[in-house]
Amino acid sequence: MHVDGFRFDLASILGRDESGRLMPSPPCCGTLNQIRRWRARKLIAEAWDAAGLYQVGSFIGDSWREWNGRFRDDVRSFFRCDEGSLASLADRLLGSPEIYGHKEREPEESVNFVTCHDGFTLNDLVSYNQKHNEANGEDNRDGTNDNRSSIGVSKAQPMTLRWNSCETGK
C-alpha cells in the first residue's frame, strides 16, 4: 500500500505549547519536515484550530500545504453576487497573493476547496440555505454556520447570466 500524504484536522494546535500559547518554532511541525521518509509525502494542514487561531498563509514548514478557507468563502460569495466578490474571486484565482505572496509561503502551498467533510456539505450548498446534515450524528453542530449558500439568490438562473449579473452589479 502507498500513502501519498496526510491531512491534519485543526492543525494549528500543533503549533501550541502545553499552556496553549503559539510557539514561534513548534517542534512537531519542524520534525515532520525533517523526517526523510516523510519529505516525499504531502502534509496538508487545516491551518486553524478550535480556539480561533487562523494560520492560513503562515503555517510553519516547507513540506506543508494549507487548506485555503478564504478560497471557499470567496467562491461561494461570488456565486451569491455579494458586493466586492468579483475582486476577491480574481485574487483567489491568481493564487491568493495577499495570503501567500511573501517569502515564507508560495501560492502552490494553497489547497483550494469549495466544500469539505464538516459543516456545510456540497449537497447542502446546492440544496439548502442552512446546514442540513443531521444524519451524521453531530446534531448539525459540526462546522461553520457561515455557509454562503446561493439557494434563494438565483437557483434557476443559467451560469452565464449569473456571471454577467455579478460583473455589472445587478
Point out the residues that are catalytic: 9, 46
CA–CA gap between residue 160 and residue 151 (Å, rounded): 17
CA–CA gap between residue 71 and residue 170 (Å, rounded): 23
Give yes or no for a contact between 67 and 118, defined as CB atoms under 8 angstroms apart: no
Give yes or no for a contact between 28 and 14, defined as CB atoms under 8 angstroms apart: yes
Residue 89 grid cell: 474571486
